[in-house]
Amino acid sequence: MEWTGQSRETENHIRPAAPEDWEGVWRLVCALEGEGLSPEIFRGIYMEQMEDGRFHGLVWAPGGRVSAFLNLRMERQLHHAGLVAEIVELVVSQECRSQGVGEELVQAACALARENGCVQIEAACHQVRRDAHRFYERMGMRNRHFKFSMEFSAAGEER
């Protein structure tokens, strides 16, 4: 099911992500992460997700330029005994922040999750992103979990 809603500030700018949006999304995610991710690997993963029914990308693209992206994954989870949505990535370009774009994208994601029967929506973000924490709290989310991670090197060893 696709979300096709509109809102006052972002009317006609939020739409489902399309394959041709990959480069704009890549630029946004590189800026978010502060590193130049491999465009070839990124494009491959992006295209895989476009075909995977669990992922629902939304873009904010005024004038056709991708300026914000939200990646939503929905999956059935045992510990919820139901379908749960997770905001995997949310990024708004620097020049478009503080204009309600992120809020509109999260509202669209919530609507899509509800339409699909999700029992909950979650988001995870890095501990240093305090502004993002405040944003999610303003959106009505509560910090109820810890998320632990372990990075691996290319050889599969812990870093």
Q: Which domain holds residue 127?
A: 14-138
Mean pLDDT taken over the chain: 86
- The two beta strands, 55-60 and 120-123, are unpaired
> How far is CA 126 from its chain centroid?
14
- Residue that the structure tokens 């491959």 belong to: 44
Reported as a pLDDT band with limits 50, 70 and 90, residue 47 is very high
Q: What is the pLDDT of residue 8?
A: 40
Q: Domain for residue 93, yes or no?
A: yes
Q: Domain for residue 149, yes or no?
A: no
Count other C-beta atoms under 10 Å from residue 100's C-beta. 15
C-alpha–C-alpha distance, residues 158 and 79, integer Å:
28
CATH number for the domain including 30? 3.40.630.30
| pLDDT tens per residue across span 75-115 | 998 888 899 999 999 999 988 888 889 899 999 999 999 99
Residue 23 has pLDDT above 90, yes or no: yes
Q: What is the pLDDT of residue 119?
A: 93
Q: Domain for residue 143, yes or no?
A: no
Q: Domain for residue 3, yes or no?
A: no
**Domain total in the chain:** 1
Residue type, position 137, single letter? E
Percent of the chain whose predicted confidence (pLDDT) is above 70:
89
Q: Domain for residue 146, yes or no?
A: no
| pLDDT tens per residue across span 133-155 | 887 888 888 888 777 877 887 66
Q: Domain for residue 6, yes or no?
A: no
- Residue that the structure tokens 């979300």 belong to: 3
Q: Domain for residue 144, yes or no?
A: no
